[in-house]
Amino acid sequence: MESTPEILQLTSLVAEGIGIYLEKTSKIVIGKYESVVESRLILNLCLRHIESINELAQKDLVYLPSAMVLSRSVFESALKVLWILHPSDIFECESRYVVRLKQYEDWLIDQIKFLKTQNWNCDTYTKQKEDVCCFRLDLQNLLIERGYKVLHSPNLRDILKELNEDRKYLYYRLLSSYTHGGYCSTGIYRKDLGVCKKLGEFIDIKDWKLVYSVAWPVFELATEFFIDRATLSEVKNIYSDKFKKEIRDCLAM
């Protein structure tokens, strides 16, 4: 399925948006706050996923399922950036970074447990776990001394509720079906049921619009939060109103 002019216009606008973000961040020196550094790295993941979505959209629209999976990853990852950087107090952001670090520590512990069940060497993971634990505790204790609480890891819906975006959980559930091979995801190859069913490839342009409608706005917002926290400035909008209107008008077409 050849890409359509409207989808190609959308890929062009998204590429322009990525260029704006990269230009705005090209001279930013980060490193003072762990929450800001980690957010930058998460946004790097998001950026590459969005570029991959663009490549798929330009090459062949039959790659919709892969684009859906990538869009879900952008959505979930960018929301984590928004959650980490949401507090106006940078040390509250640091507390949320500690939560992410603890998640990684727990992941390493699970890896070690599994390796032991398979009688595999787990020395590398054990050393990583010890280093991460030591760093986390040092940072955690510094924050506690300043009067900041150690938080628990929230689930995605809790994050959406905190950001007053609970309605977008519907998008996450839909895109998750493509990630996990749910029945909903095979609907693009099937119409109706039983003896009435028709098999084929029933991809609609609206499906591709959904991919971008989920991935781009949350990336846009997360990058603006990042610029604000990284520069500690009052710059809230790195994308012009004109650009934002163009991309939203394109999504609505």
Q: What is the pLDDT of residues 21-74, one digit of tens each?
A: 999 888 888 888 999 999 999 999 999 999 999 999 999 999 999 999 999 999
Cβ atoms 178, 185 nearer than 8 A: yes
Q: Mean pLDDT of all residues in the chain? A: 92
Tell me what pLDDT residue 232 has.
65
Q: Which residues are 198's β-sheet partners?
A: 191
Residues 226 and 165: their CA atoms lie apart, in Å, by 19
Tell me what pLDDT residue 229 has.
86
Tell me what pLDDT residue 150 has.
84
Q: Which residues of the chain have pLDDT under 50?
A: none
Tell me what pLDDT residue 235 has.
55
Q: Which residues are 199's β-sheet partners?
A: 190
Tell me what pLDDT residue 31 has.
82
Residues 26 and 238: their CA atoms lie apart, in Å, by 13
Q: Of 229, 183, 212, 171, which is closest to residue 61 (Cα–Cα)?
A: 212
Tell me what pLDDT residue 253 has.
78
Tell me what pLDDT residue 246 has.
95
Tell me what pLDDT residue 233 has.
62
